[in-house]
Structure 1
Amino acid sequence: MRRRWRPRLAEFSRIDHDTLETVITCAREKVAQDFNQQVINRQLASLLQTM
């Protein structure tokens, strides 16, 4: 099973720092947006239940 991962690990090790930084930034933004959307949805559901 380890042999299957070696080529993929080699690919990841070739990713330069700038590319990795961009990917991490985009991932953080996506997580924040998803979290904020969940908060908005919960608040909206709560408001709708009180009507």
Structure 2
Amino acid sequence: MDRFLDLNDLKIKDNTASFIFRGNINSIIKSVSQIELSNISIDEPDLEEIFMHY
């Protein structure tokens, strides 16, 4: 993955990674397209996640 992506709160467990991304959605899609995925889910963070980030 591009080391200049703005990833926060990265959590990896087993075969699952979750994180908060702020920026151009096209750049993160371009980066993850370089690895083999079995599933992807993109959600907006809830209010608590946004608050805890700051």
TM-score of the two chains, using structure 2 as the length reference: 0.22
Structure ID, larger Rg? 1
Higher relative helix content: 1
Which gives a bigger RCO, structure 1 or 2 (Cα 8 Å, sep 6+)?
A: 2
Larger strand percent: 2
